[in-house]
Amino acid sequence: MSVQKKNQVPEFIPPEEGNKYSRVTPYIRKMAELSAQNNGIRPEMYAEYKVNRGLRDLQGKGVVTGLTEISSIKAKEVAPDGSEIPCRGELRYRGIDVRELVQGFLKDRRLGFEETVYLLLFSELPDTAQLSRFCETLSGYRSLPTSFVRDMILKAPGKDMMNVLSRSVLALYAYDDNPDDISVPNVLRQCLQLIALFPMLSVYGYQSFQHYHKGKSLFIHLPKPGMSTAECLLQILRENGEYSALEAKILDLALVLHAEHGGGNNSTFTVHVVTSSGTDTYSAIAAALGSLKGPRHGGANIKVVQMFDDMMQNIDVEDDGQVRDYLGRLLDGKAFDGKGLIYGMGHAVYSLSDPRADILMNCARDLSVEKGYEKEYALYERVARLAPEIIAEKRRIYKGVSPNVDFYSGLVYRMLELPCELFTPIFAVARIAGWSAHRIEELQNAGKIIRPAYVGVKKTAEYVPLSERRHESKKHG
């Protein structure tokens, strides 16, 4: 008989599980089946009870849940007869068209992510002196607490970089002298620190994974002072710390395009919901990271790359007929992962075009020439041309379907020789800017806690005493 040590918490382990913590036992499977059998909510009930599932109405429009000045999306115009017609997609940061923003810093031959962060946070474009001071501030914050990398990242290497990033963010709470102070100045300080540290937390987590799970050499580079976010990420990721000006330019542009999107996306709404409870910054951002990790949100570009890899391995990608046939089989659930999706095509809001995809498309074309990916880029062009036709035929969607930002971002990251494990964390490196702006906006306009209503549809039932439930237990052993 084992003797429990003093103050040791007893551990309950069902006999059938033994010490296999992650095992799904036959008992658990049987109980999961019972749960599914007793789930009486049917898809048609949402319309019956007039519930907008997923906060989308029957026409696919998002249900309005708040006001924001941070960004806006336009995908439709009102016709003379009052009807809405699809138009060229438009994304504005603080009222400024993202296309104009990008053209502005590219024309000046400079990187633009830090300027974009400033705009999102403070609702105005900085002048030269303001931008310089802001960049110095971010650079000055790129220093993790003493022993943080050793104790929080290297000693607990994870296989999923988003979970490692989320855990690191929560761990920073313990190093903050004022973690629960939700005054705007303190939250702004916390947000700027997280914006500065996200490249390091992401890359160091990846280096730890490579070393402890893949047997690769371990190297941890300290960021050089004065670098932009894109430059910092490339410098600490690569063993030799080298990168080209074009690589930094393209990654910086990708960060700008992923920095914010309308406020209604899943992870940003999560920031608003969690912030409205009055919780701390680290908890709010960790919650957003959990949302972004999902393949329906930030993980979509990985699926795009995997889909194209499968295509190149199984068909002649230079033959329109074979590509068309493959795309048809994708929609029928007979190719790739069987989900019936052409990843990277279509968007919940945009129809004719996603402005972010339009910009990235041109960048991907330029980068493909320098990196020798012309064949791969040609396939992306071919799919972008053929997929809308096939989707219209098979799904009877005639409002217009076009590539979204995930369609090209995965290709761009691959050409930049970024590991797929970092695709979603890099999205987070960008989107932390938008999350920060929305957290501050929610605090500045503090109102009620965001608490949506659900309709209870289970029929009333009587309590049955335990002694009379023996016949019920037979259902699940």
Domain holding 400: CATH number? 1.10.230.10
Q: Which residues in the chain show pLDDT less than 50? A: 1-18, 472-473
Q: Looking at residue 17, what is its pLDDT? A: 46
Buried b (16+ CB within 10 A) or exposed e, 390-404: bbeeeeeeeebbbbb
- Measured CA to CA, the distance from residue 400 to residue 465 in angstroms comes to 58
Residues of the domain holding 314: 300-415
The helix (run of H) or strand (run of E) holding residue 66 is none
456 found inside a domain: no
Q: Same domain, yes or no, for 408 and 436?
A: no
Q: Looking at residue 471, what is its pLDDT? A: 55
Q: Looking at residue 477, what is its pLDDT? A: 53
Q: Looking at residue 223, what is its pLDDT? A: 96
The structural domain count of the chain equals 2
Q: Same domain, yes or no, for 411 and 432?
A: no
22 found inside a domain: no
- Measured CA to CA, the distance from residue 207 to residue 238 in angstroms comes to 10
Dig out the tokens for 248 from the structure: 């930094």
Q: Same domain, yes or no, for 282 and 346?
A: no
Q: Same domain, yes or no, for 155 and 183?
A: yes
Query: Are the CB atoms for 139 and 226 separated by under 8 Å?
Result: yes
What strand order describes the sheet that includes 96-97? 71-78, 84-93, 96-97
Write down the pTM of the prediction: 0.90
- Within 10 angstroms of residue 95's Cβ, the number of other Cβ atoms is 12
- Within 10 angstroms of residue 277's Cβ, the number of other Cβ atoms is 11
474 found inside a domain: no
The letter for the amino acid at 70 is I
CATH number for the domain spanning 194: value is 1.10.580.10
Residues contacting residue 417 through CB under 8 Å, at least 6 positions apart: none
- Measured CA to CA, the distance from residue 128 to residue 3 in angstroms comes to 69
- Measured CA to CA, the distance from residue 379 to residue 60 in angstroms comes to 30
378 found inside a domain: yes
Q: Same domain, yes or no, for 254 and 136?
A: yes
Q: Same domain, yes or no, for 262 and 244?
A: yes
Let me know if 347 is a catalytic residue: yes
- Measured CA to CA, the distance from residue 88 to residue 221 in angstroms comes to 43
Q: Looking at residue 7, what is its pLDDT? A: 40
Q: Same domain, yes or no, for 277 and 317?
A: no
**Reduced to 3 states, what is the DSSP secondary structure of residue 452?**
coil
65 found inside a domain: no
Residues contacting residue 7 through CB under 8 Å, at least 6 positions apart: none
**How is the chain split among helix, strand and coil, in percent rounded to 5?**
55, 5, 40
Q: Looking at residue 77, what is its pLDDT? A: 81
Q: Same domain, yes or no, for 170 and 249?
A: yes
Q: Looking at residue 5, what is its pLDDT? A: 41
**Reduced to 3 states, what is the DSSP secondary structure of residue 97?**
strand
318 found inside a domain: yes
Residues facing residue 84 across a β-bridge: 78
Per annotation, catalytic residue among 258, 261, 272, 347: 347
DSSP 110: S
Q: Same domain, yes or no, for 265 and 402?
A: no
**Reduced to 3 states, what is the DSSP secondary structure of residue 389?**
helix
If we measure between CA atoms, which residue out of 345, 348, 329 comes closest to residue 337?
A: 329
Per annotation, catalytic residue among 406, 438, 471, 476: 406
